[in-house]
Every structure is written in structure tokens, then in C-alpha cells.
Structure 1
Amino acid sequence: MDLAAAAGTAILAATDGTVAAAGPASGFGNWIIIDTQIGGSLLSTVYGHMFDNGVNVTVGQQVQTGQRIGAVGSNGEATGPHLHFEVVPGGRQQGGQQIDPVPWLAQHGAPVDGSDAAATPAASTTTVAAPGDPKSSRAKYGIAQAAGFAAGCMPVAVDGGGSAPDLRPGSVPPAFEPWILRAAKTCAEVTGPLLAGQLEQESGFNPDAGSPKGAQGAAQFLLGTWAAYGVDAEGKGYADIHSIPDAVMTQARYDCDQVQSAKNGLAQGTLHGDLTELWLSMYNCGPGGTFESGGVCQNAETLNYVKNIPALATKYAATMGGA
């Protein structure tokens, strides 16, 4: 089954399991195979057409449902960016036979039409926490519910989605303005003024900023997070943490991922508080820390962070006083 998506869109694992293949494959350019034991039987899920830098797992790695494993590409025999997805009972490398993925996806909470469904991820004998993030909503909830997108793909920042830009012209450094305007379309909750306020708080709009903890660039990403989320906004073939376009688009992608996590937590009753403050808390002290706290992390830095950024956003808004 082929699922159209923008190049760079994150691919999420449809099952728990072990990575059986991750790399070059005839016709696919690159592929990823995840083998899972379900009810005592082997089942493979297959993901194809990633570029070399869009394969984010290695053979033997344990992955969890909803974990990012790669990025949509158009490598190999492909006419445009899309995810090639297979479900293979008996194992893809063991001679198993493919089945129609559509009913299987619907059964396990990921309808291919993008509609909401009760997420019931396929159970596996292997269950591990998402790396460094034991409370990640992408680990706790099924891919359709957590990502709000069909069949293991999550939204990437592209023109045409989210809210209309409301950034006040000339309020940010010129090199940042077009990218904040574009990034503000990623999801409705992450507005241009909030992105600008966050950039001021994180780095003072300095693309070469660094921190003692190892965070880098205008949006202050740790290298491990950048490896998973980094956006190549200009089509260079790689994501540069010190590039203004890449940093701002990655900032919006990560923010919007945290928005969805916070929404899920509020809906499930595992989080309490203001939605904006919750996703800002996740950016600052991590989704795990926020879920552990049941709300905004209660350290002084994060408590200050979630209040400062909305306050800073007001000066960047086209209508002063509104963020």
C-alpha cells in the first residue's frame, strides 16, 4: 500500500518489535522491516522509499508502537514522496505472504482515511519505553490517535495547514521572519508570535547559540532530539542545527508534536493545566517530566519558561496583546 505524504514526514512504527532490516533494498531505495511476535506468530511491517538520511533505526534495535523510525522519501522506484507500507504475517524475510494492510490498520487504530479511531496497537512480546522518554504519548497511544494522521505518518510542517500567520511584520530579525511565518502553519496552536517568543527565550535569535547542556542553534535542540526531528527546510539533503530555516521548521514540528501529546494527556486525564503551558513544559523539561508531574514541571526554570514565552509573544503579535 502506498500512502502519499510530504517528503520528510516522520514515519512511526505500527508495532512494537525488532528491526530486522534497515537500509538499501532493490526497488525501495531503502526499507525498514520490523518483526513482531503476535499471538505466538511472526508478523513483519515494512516501510519503503526512504532516502539514506531518512532511515532512523538500525538492525537489532527494539522499537515501540508510535516511535519515529524514519522519514518519507521518494527513493528507488517512486514517482513522488510516499510511504510504501506492507503487513506480512509469517515474516517478510521468511517467505510470508502480504495481506491487505487497510483492515489490519483499522483494527489496530490507524484508519487510512485519517479519521479518529480507538487506538489498539498490536500487542507484542517485546515492550520497551521510548528512548529517554518513558511517558511519551507516542509510546502510550496508538499511532492514529497520537499522531492524528493515517497509517504511521505524522504531519510535517508544510504550507497550507494550521493557523494563519499573525506575526507582526518587522518584529523579528529579517532572516527569521519568512520561516516563522511558514512554521506557524504547522498546527493552529503554535502561532508565529509564540514561535518568536520561544526563539527569544531560547537563544535571543542566535543561530550559533550553545548551552552548557549541549543544546545548539536558535531553537536550542539537543543533538539526540535533532537527529530524530531535524527538518531539511531547504532541500540541502541534510538538516543543519545552526541553519535558521531548519531550526525554525524543526522547532514548529517538535512543538506541534508536544501539542498533540498534551492534548492526549488532557483527554486521558493524565495531565492537567493550560494546553500552551503544557506543551511549552514538554519542550523545556521533556514530555516524560511533564507526564510524571501530571502537568507543568515544577522546577523554577520550567515554571518561568511557560509564563515568559506567552508574555514575550504579545510584542510579536500583529494585534498587540493577542498571541
Structure 2
Amino acid sequence: MMPTRVRPVAPEFYVTSGFGNRSGGFHWGTDFGRNGGSGGQPVFAAQGGSVVMVGPASGFGQWVVLDHPTADGSGTTVYGHVIPEVRQGQRVVAGQRIARINPDSNTNGGVAPHLHFEVHRYVWVQPGPDRLDPVLWLASSAPPATGGTPVGQLQADVTLLSPNDDGPRNPANCTLAIVHTDEGDPNGPIEDLLGWLKQERAQASYTLLVGRDGRIGRSNDDNYVPWAAGSPANERGLHLCFKGRASQSRAEWLAQGRQLDAGARVLRDWRDRYGIPLVKLSGAQMRAGQKGVGGHVDTVDAWHSTDHTDPGPGFPWDVLLAKAAGNTTPEEGFLMALSHEQQQRIFTELTQKLPSRSKYRTNDEPVDTLAGMVLNIDARIHEESTEREALNGVKSAIDLVRREAGRGDAGAQAVLAKINGGK
């Protein structure tokens, strides 16, 4: 039985231009290409339906447009820069070959060979709100009969593509994963940062970013060069921005378990997808051409293209890379299993100044909690010590009275009588 929704190209294809803002204007579809060239490669129907338009089309050279009845999933799909292999009015099923990618830039609209794929909610229309993001639409699709692994890139929770880029690239050639902090409100939603980066006046962008709530946002497709750290770091790297500040301490970072988990998921994907090893690099190692992970500050040391210091000296590289590799320690595993509220409470106890817990404290002035925890791990320890000292003092005084009374001291004998209840 044929699946109801199929990717329009073979598994080795990846996204070369996503749906959204681009430096040349809004891109209303998604482009797919492959290493070694896309010309002549087959194109498959993404859903069952009928061929409603086929042949010459402005900007595409030629196209195929399929209408999908409700029984097949509804909507309309467009396949541009192709040589059609179907005729108008023909019925096709999901996964059926319908065209091949035109290898000739002279007749395919003047572009490098690739597939331009569009999804319309209802029928084909000019640019507007009824055009859908094809990557999201294909999220639950099956590969065509050629088999293999899914194409594309890590699916973010929120995508707002930035027009701030230096054009397309092959992400398989990237050698670095570069970590940044945005220096804004660490608790702010990722939508705020994505919305800012979506504006040309921001003059900046990243590949992906992660918020404290663990959600992942996409600012640029993997195959586009972001404006993140200057050249050549922009071209050589995939850039991951943490909502946070370079001034944060290690303890502050470790309290953000969900954010570190999300960042580790991104680095793991880039390792598996593009072969970037989970190894922390220095600036000198970056400059020498080694592959691995580093911070914006390391690119400054390598090439001096900017003057940033993020993600800061407190950033927990060891924990992040261990989590990405699946090698967290039992202690880290315990902390990351706690809720965000529980982690915050532990963080407060370990780092903020609080009063002593002893009921014998002389004031409520804050003390360094780490020292206070050593002195008052349990307030009872201090209280017991104080009480024992007082009792020892009383016992010593009574022993002294008894000794003096035994020597015939009348005053001591009177005091001893009172201690003994007048007996």
C-alpha cells in the first residue's frame, strides 16, 4: 500500500533554501538539492492527485502542478525547474515519478539545477497566506521508493528566517559548531529574538537558537551563511545562540537543564548530520583548520573579525558536550531530571546569601550560603552545641559549690541547699 504523503526527492537531497524571508525577498517554497549535482534526478508526487498544470512557467522554465482531492490529503503542490514526465489531466499516486530536474540553466529559469517545491492550502494562488511551509508539511512524510534516511535539517520548534545572510552554501563543508549568547533577557521567549533577527536592521543572524524553556528556534537554514561571527567563522560554522549572557556563572548555566538539553540535541544533530566532532577547540585550533566546537570568543582569538567574549568563562562546555555525546555523570543526570523549579531552588540555596538557620543567631544579616551550609547544615547542630556548652557551664558551677560546701563554706552550703530543693 502506497503512503499518503511522500517526499518529492530522494533521501540524499537536502534543503538548499527554506520557506521564508531571504535577502532577495520572501521565498514562497522550499528548494532541494544534492551533493554532486541535481540535474536529471527524479521528482515524485508528494500526494495522490491530478495534473492540473504542466509545461512552461515563468521563472521555472517548466513546472508540474498537482491538485489533491480531500481523499488524498487536499491542497495543491508545485514542482518547478523540472522536465515534466506526465500530461495534463493525468491521475498520479503518492510517490509516483512525475518529472526530472532540468539540468540546463539556459532552459530552467536561469538557476543551478534544483527542485523548487511549493504547498498551497487549497488551490494555486499568487504569494499569500495560503502558501504553507513545505518542510513542516512534509514532517510526517515517507521517503520515495528509493528508500534511505530523511532529507533536510533539524526541525525547530519555531522558524522565523532572517534576511541577514551571505547566501547559500553546502553545510556538509562546515567544520565548526560555534556557540553564542544573545546578551538579552535570558528568560525572554525565543520568538522575541527571532523577530528581531528577522529585521534587516538587526544586521545579525544565527543558524539555530535555544531558550531557557528548551525550545529551539531557527533563524537560518543550515545551508545559508549567517551573520554571526564575521568571516571566515560565518562560512565555516553552524551557529547556535543560547538565550543568556556571557557574565553568567557556571552554577547559573547548570541550573538551566532544559536549555542545555536542547543545545546538546543541536550539537548531536550537527555531529551526526555533518560530521562535526564533539570536541572543544581553541582559537588556535580553529585557525589551524581542525573540526569541532567552540565559542564566539574562540573565533575572535582565531581571526579577530569581531571583539565578542561570549559565551563567557562560566559556560559549562564539559557538561554540554557530555550531554551531546550521551555521557552525563550520575550527579548531572540527577540535576537534569529535576524540574526547573527544583533546579532553581537548589541554585538559590547554593549561590544566594541567606540568614543563618540557628535559633540562637544574633541577627538576620545574610551569610554566604556555602559557608552557612557548612556551619549550619542543620540548625540543630549549632543549637545543640550552644545548649551543651551552657549545660557544661552549669555543671561546672555546681561542682565548684559542692567542693566549697564540703570545706565548710557557709555561703556555699546555703547555695547547695537551694540547689537540692532545701534539703
Q: Report TM bin, short chain.
A: 0.3 to 0.5
Q: Scaled by the length of structure 2, what TM-score is found?
A: 0.25
**Which protein has the larger Cα radius of gyration, Structure 1 or Structure 2?**
2
Larger RCO of the pair (alpha carbons < 8 Å, separation 6+): 1
Q: Scaled by the length of structure 1, what TM-score is found?
A: 0.32
